[in-house]
Structures are given as C-alpha cells and as structure tokens.
Structure 1
C-alpha cells in the first residue's frame, strides 16, 4: 500500500474528527457535505478517503468500539470480577448513550459494523468479563454474551428516551445478579459511574 502524503493524512484526520462530532449528534442522517464543511475540506476529499458515508461511519464507530474492547481486555485480570463487570457494563452504557453513532452501531443487529474486527473484539472481551463475574458468583449463570449485548442495546434505548433515569439501568443491573444477591453493590456501581 502506498504511503499517504502528510497533507492527505491531516485531511483524513480532520474528516474523521468532524464525522465523529456529526455522527454523535445525528447518526447516519448527517449528510457528507455537512461533514466536509465541518472538517474544512471539499466533498471530494471526503470521498477520496471514504467511498461512502457508511464507510466513514464504520471507521469512526469502529475506533470507539475498539476503545471499549481495549478497556475490557485491560480489566480482564482486575480485582473483584463482579464489581469490575458491573462498573464496566454501566460505563459502556453511559458513554455510548452520549453518542448516537455508537448507539446505532451497537443496536445494528447483524450489520457489518458490529461484525467487523473491533466489534468481534468487543464482544469477546465483554464475554470474558461476564464469564469471570459468573465464575465469581456475581452474575446469574443463564446470561451469555448475546444476551448481554441485547441488554446494553435496551439500556441505551432507555438512556436515549429517558435521559438521567439511572434507576432503570439499575433495575437491569440488579436483574443480572443471581437470586438473593445484594443489589446495593450494583446500585452503587450504577450511581457512581459517570
């Protein structure tokens, strides 16, 4: 692959930054011309780097999902598996709920965005955190990675339609605990997470 010129790299970075900002607010509804204007480049520059709006969207979202996966992998050996899992679960919901593009990508069932490498890494890392929490007896055993992804998407919908309703996310978190578990720990994790 031919090395990109310095000005082309700068333009690509500008387009990605502008797209991240625009997609966070409007999701896929934002026109490419608006992204080009926000980036301070022409529409042709956007198309040179990204053949379609979907390709640009995927590049932006995959970067964020990769960050979620990296954090989950880093937490895989952290102390209290249950606390780590619940803290991470709530943090992903809080951070993703602020970005419509991430919400759209995580909600996309069977779409190319989630199946791409970073999506697979996120799913695998999340499943590992879940498995550790289940082995520690902190999470009910009848939940798997696909169930967890569906719960994240559901919680994102709650956050989008009823912002600031932390008690509803706590209800889901409490529901992940095994019968008879202390919901106070999960509630404090949900309340303390930004």
Structure 2
C-alpha cells in the first residue's frame, strides 16, 4: 500500500490489522512526519518512506520507518518492484491520484461515494491534467457494492493497460471516504 504524505499528516490512517503485505510505503515531501502518527505506530507491517530529502526525514522518524531517497514516482515504483511488490494499492488525495492517473499508471480505480454532497472542505479526487480516460475512452465499471451507507464503485482502466506497457506496479486508487478518511478498496 502506498499512502500519500498529506493523508498521513491529516488522517493518520492506521494500517489495517488484516494487511498481509510485508510493508507499507508513504511518499513524503515538505514537512516532516510525526513518528507517533497512527500510520507508523499501528500494525506489524514494515513501513517505508520515500522522500527527496532522506536525511531530514530520517531524523524526524527515527526507527519508525526505513527512509529511502526517491526523486519521482517512477523511482518509488522501481524500488517497490525490486522489493517484490507486484500489486500496489494507493490511498491518498488529489496530488497522489493525479500522479498515478495522468500517466496511466493505474489499472483500477475504486471510488467510495458517501451519502452527502456539498462539503466545501471535501478534497478533490484529481487535479486538472491530461487523463487517458474520456468520453471516448471510458472506464469499465466492474463492481458496485453497498458498504453500510456508502457505495463502492470499482472501475478497470483499460486505457491504462493499452497506453502504458511499462507499468511497474499495478495500482488501485481509493479516494477519501466518509469523514475524509481514506477507504480501503480491494479485489
């Protein structure tokens, strides 16, 4: 699982106890993380933090995670692949989702729709950009599930598979669910 830095700073999501993945990764830029955030203190999985400033981040995190230098998303994906990752779930906000969707690095998109609209503080799923999906290249809806009072939609991004033959890791993007917290989507 790859979690965006702002998601950790704002939501401090704990890694679910049911994760069978041997590690959890985060991207970091800007402000340092708190080593007491739930992301770092909960769960038995090993945490990796990718950042362009490894010395600064290592000092702030201490033993809470392994800090790895990464200047871009491709270097993060190459490192995760070298560590044996074959599938990657991405939980984050606007920035991380945009970074995966515009270059067609994701092959699935899980959307969780809450039972309310009009929250002016709600995060946007993506930022403006050039996306391979459009009215001419639609996503393929493959699953609809009700989970409590929310609905989960699972789309296959077939264009991603056609456009990007160099995808290093498969990705599932799951936007924030009710209350602004990321919701775990999976297959």
Alignment TM class, shorter chain as reference = under 0.3
Provide TM-score, normalisation by structure 1. Answer: 0.23
Hey, which of these two has a bigger chunk of helix by percent? 1
Provide TM-score, normalisation by structure 2. Answer: 0.24
Q: Tell me which structure has the larger Cα radius of gyration.
A: 1
